[in-house]
Amino acid sequence: AAGVIQSPRHLIKEKRETATLKCYPIPRHDTVYWYQQGPGQDPQFLISFYEKMQSDKGSIPDRFSAQQFSDYHSELNMSSLELGDSALYFCASSFGQGALEQFFGPGTRLTVL
Amino acid sequence: AQSVTQLDSHVSVSEGTPVLLRCNYSSSYSPSLFWYVQHPNKGLQLLLKYTSAATLVKGINGFEAEFKKSETSFHLTKPSAHMSDAAEYFCVVSEGAGYSTLTFGKGTMLLVSP
C-alpha cells in the first residue's frame, strides 16, 4: 500500500539559509500534519492542513511557513535557519479532519551547520 | 489540555521476558490513545490505538495495551520480548474527533538483551 512520501530524506543547510521540505500524503488523504523531533526529543506538532486550509497550529516558529496544494501535497518552508532547527521533520496524513489515525512518513532529517 | 507521561525513559529486559511500558495521560475530553514505535533512524509506526471501544487493545507484533480510565493509564505490554523489539516507544494522546492534534510522551527506550 502507498505510504506517506517525504522529500528530501536528508538535507544539510548552513545557518541563515532556507529549506523546503515536501510531503506527499497517502492517496485520497486530505489532511496533512507536520511534526518536529529534535535530537532525543519527542515529536512536537507544528501545523496541520485540511482541504488546503490551515486547520491547527502548534509550536511552529514565525520563520517557518507551510501550505497545502490542490493535489494535497504540502510544503514546509523554513527561513533564516538556526542550529536549533536541526531535527527530524515528520509529515503525517489522514482522511478527514479529526481522523483518529495519522499515518507518518519516514521523515526528513535536517542538519543546520 | 492533554498531556502524556511516560514513567520510564529506559526499560531493559532480557529476550523472552515480559515487557511493560508505562503511560499515564491527562485529557479534558474522552481521549484516543496510541502507542507508536520508532526504530533507530526510522519513521513512526503505529502499534495500536484505543478509540473508546474495547478497553483491551491488541496491536501488531504481539503488543497489547489496556485503557484504565480510573487510573488514567494506558500501559503497553508484551508477554515475551524479542530482540527486534528494541526501539523507542511513544505513548500518544488525541482529544478525539474534530480535534486530532497528537500529543506525544517523552518516549521510552526499550533495550532487549540476549
Question: In angstroms, what separates the C-alpha of B39 from chain A's closest C-alpha?
Answer: 11
Q: What is the pLDDT of residues B90-107, one digit of tens each?
A: 999 987 555 567 889 999
pLDDT tens digits, one per residue of B8-22: 999 999 999 999 999
The region of weakest confidence among A21-30, B21-30, B58-67 is: B21-30
**What is the residue type of B94?**
S
Instruction: Specify the pairing of strand B10-14 against strand B108-113.
Output: parallel
Class of domain A5-101: mainly beta
Q: Would you state the pLDDT for residue A16?
A: 97
Kindly list the distances between the CA atom of residue B37 and the CA atoms of A52, B21, B63, in Å, as whole numbers in the listed order: 29, 12, 11
Instruction: Tell me whether A90 touches chain B (CB under 8 Å).
Output: yes
Q: What percent of chain B has pLDDT over 70?
A: 95
B60-78 core/surface letters (b: 16 or more CB in 10 A; e: else): eeebbbebeeeeebbbbeb
The fraction of chain A above a pLDDT of 70, given in percent, is 96
CA pair distance B84, B103, nearest whole angstrom:
26
Query: Could you give the dihedral angle defined by the CA atoms of residues B1, B6, B9 and B10, in that order, rounded to the nearest 10 degrees?
Result: -160
Judged by a CB distance cut-off of 8 A, whether residue B108 touches chain A is no
- Among residues A100, A28, A35, A86, the alpha carbon closest in space to that of B44 is found at A35
Q: Regarding beta strands B103-104 and B87-94, do their DSSP bridges make them parallel or antiparallel, or are they unpaired?
A: antiparallel
Contact B100 A98 (CB under 8 A): yes
pLDDT of residue A99: 66
- The span from the CA of B114 to the CA of B111, in Å, is 10
**Domains of chain B from N-terminus onward:** 3-113 (2.60.40.10)
Predicted pLDDT at B5 = 95
Query: Looking at beta carbons, which residues of chain B come within 8 Å of A31?
Result: 100
